[in-house]
């Protein structure tokens, strides 16, 4: 099948590699087919006159998003970001230095949208370049070696959000008909079926009934996992991977037990059975809005008072930072549907609320009976997922997104150790599969991009006796279970935070 992938060697310290120009040159991920493109409003294949259309699109985007124009203008090439990217550290390809990757777009911007780029004699001086097919192919390849994790932005003295440049590049590519199969096929599936997996309502119901049976077998207590139940308090919006994959599904069992013990009625929706919003990864505002509006419709149809969000990283960013203005989900939207939703929502609670916030609140109020010794066979560490760490918050204090998940883990586990400080919190390394790159055709990028996290995890396992890593993102969980074996770490060493809660929680009436 694919070429043999060489797993990078994990050393005691993470070296900045000697550059290897062109080592990750390639065709990029599989290209979307017309049936994946057209439901998103994109041309099915590369359009005639693509060059002018791409340049026009760049012009449109930089006018629409003033941040983009700013980020294209103000980079001074200081180099702070160069060794901050996990893909550069893992691949050594200099085009994966964030400054160089973003310059693939900047040089075209300079050619067509700055005065210096218009004249032959200054063009070279400012590094401006025509948009050729070669440049377009480079965009496709290298903008799919960025997970939009924004670690580099933390270190940029100007605060340039390079993820926004990647998103713009992907949007330009989509607009001329070269989309990425993985993301666009999935978004089309959400519009058709309601979730990334393509899991139809009857299969969702069957899966959840099966889980109810499993919980009852384990504990002797009937815990419900309702679908489309009207008039309940909470609509749970969670990644569809929680219904399908491991360890995700153990997290879902954890949420169900927490709701049960809190006595809060809840449901999932078969219409909006997906938290993920991959339209964010491709920078498509229109599609992101369409995805968010499904959640608003489900909330209205089911008459819920609160919306709680499961363990999904980028989706928490989409929910926390964008739902309100995209679709009036939350307090403060101002259109007919939003106003209707406001009347329905309970103002005593934040909308959206993260499941970790919900559980932590119950723990603080002593509502849950917990036995942390149930997790004594493990020593845990926590992987901060990039979109939670750098693009959102939890609770009511800065840094709540770092503290609250850790507080939950520490309340349900006796053994907890952090990885080195420069690899967690705001400076967390991406899992290597975020931003829409979690596809088998990018396996080399994913394995190599995981190096910094694997290095931090491995040294913490060896030095501090950590056995398992917990995460609150479906992409992170899948990526780790897939790439950890390449680094000689068992695939079962990645766990869901609410899986740990599930292990420790004692249900009322539970048999021992």
Partner 1 sequence: MSSITVDGKEYAVDEEGYLADLSTWVPGIADVMAAQDDLTLTDEHWDIINFLREYYEEYQIAPAIRVLTKAIGKKLGKEKGNSKYLYELFPYGPAKQACRYAGLPKPTGCV
190 class by beta-carbon count within 10 Å (0-12 exposed, 13-18 middle, 19+ buried): buried
DSSP per residue, 42-71: --SSPPTTHHHHHHHHHHHHHHH-HHHHHH
441 near partner 1, rule: CB under 8 A: yes
Query: How many angstroms from the chain centroid is the CA of residue 341?
Result: 26
> CB 410 → partner 1: shortest distance, Å?
26
287 near partner 1, rule: CB under 8 A: no
What is the spatial distance between Cα 134 and Cα 111, in angstroms, rounded to a whole number?
Answer: 15
Comparing CB distances to partner 1, the nearer of 198 and 372 is 198
Binding window for partner 1 (CB under 8 A); candidates: 183-191, 219-227, 288-296, 457-465: 183-191
Binding window for partner 1 (CB under 8 A); candidates: 11-19, 234-242, 320-328, 503-511: 234-242
Binding window for partner 1 (CB under 8 A); candidates: 64-72, 236-244, 357-365, 452-460: 236-244
Name which of residues 304 to 343 contact partner 1 (CB under 8 A): 312
Residues in Cβ contact with 370 at an 8 Å cutoff, skipping those fewer than 6 apart: 363, 411, 412, 501, 504, 505, 506
| Residue choice 10, 131, 241, 345 for contact with partner 1 (CB under 8 A) | 241
238 class by beta-carbon count within 10 Å (0-12 exposed, 13-18 middle, 19+ buried): buried
Q: Which of 386, 394, 412 is nearest to 468 (CA)?
A: 412
| Residue choice 54, 442, 475, 483 for contact with partner 1 (CB under 8 A) | 475
Comparing CB distances to partner 1, the nearer of 211 and 356 is 211
239 near partner 1, rule: CB under 8 A: yes
Q: Which helix (H) or strand (E) holds 308?
A: strand 306-309
195 in Cβ contact with 270 (< 8 Å): no
Binding mask 242-281 for partner 1 (x = CB under 8 A): -xxxx-xx--------------------------x-----
Altogether, the residues listed in the chain come to a count of 512
> CB 474 → partner 1: shortest distance, Å?
4
93 in Cβ contact with 141 (< 8 Å): no
Comparing CB distances to partner 1, the nearer of 128 and 276 is 276
Number of residues near partner 1 (by CB under 8 A): 38
Strand duo 234-237 + 468-471: pairing? unpaired
Rg (CA), the chain: 23
Q: Which helix (H) or strand (E) holds 95?
A: none
> CB 312 → partner 1: shortest distance, Å?
8
Strand duo 353-354 + 468-471: pairing? unpaired
What are the backbone angles phi and psi of residue 314, rounded to the nearest 5°?
-65, -30
480 near partner 1, rule: CB under 8 A: no
| Residue choice 41, 79, 159, 202 for contact with partner 1 (CB under 8 A) | 202
| Residue choice 459, 478, 499, 503 for contact with partner 1 (CB under 8 A) | 478
Comparing CB distances to partner 1, the nearer of 1 and 348 is 1
Residues near partner 1 (CB under 8 A) are 1, 30, 182, 185-186, 189, 195-200, 202-203, 206-207, 210-211, 214, 239-241, 243-246, 248-249, 276, 312, 438, 440-441, 474-475, 477-478, 491
């Amino acid at each position: 099948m694919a070429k043999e992938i060489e797993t990078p060697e994990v050393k005691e310290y993470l070296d900045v590699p000697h550059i290897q120009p062109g080592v990750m040159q390639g065709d990029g991920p599989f290209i979307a087919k017309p049936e994946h493109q057209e439901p998103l409003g994109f041309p099915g294949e590369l359009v005639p006159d693509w060059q002018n259309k791409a340049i026009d699109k760049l012009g449109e985007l930089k006018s629409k998003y003033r941040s983009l124009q700013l980020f294209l203008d103000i980079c001074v090439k200081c180099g702070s970001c160069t060794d901050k990217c996990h893909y550069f550290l893992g691949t050594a390809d200099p085009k994966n230095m964030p400054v160089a990757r973003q310059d693939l777009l900047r040089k075209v911007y300079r050619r067509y949208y700055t005065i210096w780029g218009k004249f032959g004699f200054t063009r070279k001086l400012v590094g401006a370049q025509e948009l050729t097919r070669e440049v377009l192919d480079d965009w496709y390849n290298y903008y799919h070696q960025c997970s939009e994790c924004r670690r580099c932005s933390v270190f940029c003295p100007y605060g340039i959000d390079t993820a926004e440049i990647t998103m713009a590049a992907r949007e330009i590519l989509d607009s001329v008909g070269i989309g990425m199969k993985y993301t666009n096929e999935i978004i089309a599936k959400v519009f058709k079926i309601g979730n990334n997996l393509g899991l139809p309502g009857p299969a969702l119901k069957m899966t959840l009934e099966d889980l109810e049976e499993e919980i009852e077998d384990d504990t002797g207590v009937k815990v419900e996992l309702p679908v489309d139940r009207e008039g309940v308090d909470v609509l749970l919006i969670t990644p569809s991977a929680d219904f399908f994959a491991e360890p995700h599904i153990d997290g879902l069992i954890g949420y169900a037990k927490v709701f049960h013990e809190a006595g809060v009625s809840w449901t999932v929706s078969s219409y909006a059975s997906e938290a993920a919003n991959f339209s964010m990864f491709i920078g498509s505002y229109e599609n992101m809005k369409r995805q968010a509006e499904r959640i608003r419709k489900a909330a209205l149809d089911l008459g819920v008072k609160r919306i709680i969000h499961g363990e999904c990283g980028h989706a928490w960013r989409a929910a926390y930072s964008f739902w309100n203005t995209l679709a009036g989900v939350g307090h403060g939207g101002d259109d007919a549907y939003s106003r209707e939703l406001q009347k329905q929502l309970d103002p005593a609670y934040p909308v959206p609320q993260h499941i970790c916030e919900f559980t932590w609140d119950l723990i603080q109020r002593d509502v849950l009976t917990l036995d942390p010794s149930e997790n004594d066979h493990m020593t845990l560490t926590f992987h901060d997922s990039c979109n939670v760490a750098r693009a959102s918050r939890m609770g009511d204090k800065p840094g709540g997104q770092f503290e609250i998940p850790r507080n939950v883990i520490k309340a349900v586990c006796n053994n907890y150790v952090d990885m080195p400080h420069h690899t967690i919190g705001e400076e967390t390394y991406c899992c290597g599969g975020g931003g829409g790159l979690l596809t088998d055709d990018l396996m080399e990028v994913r394995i190599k991009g995981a190096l910094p996290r694997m290095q931090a995890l491995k040294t913490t396992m060896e030095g501090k006796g950590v056995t398992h890593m917990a995460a609150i993102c479906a992409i992170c969980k899948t990526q780790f279970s897939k790439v950890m074996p390449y680094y000689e770490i068992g695939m079962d060493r990645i766990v869901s935070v609410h899986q740990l809660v599930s292990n420790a929680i004692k249900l009322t009436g539970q048999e021992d």
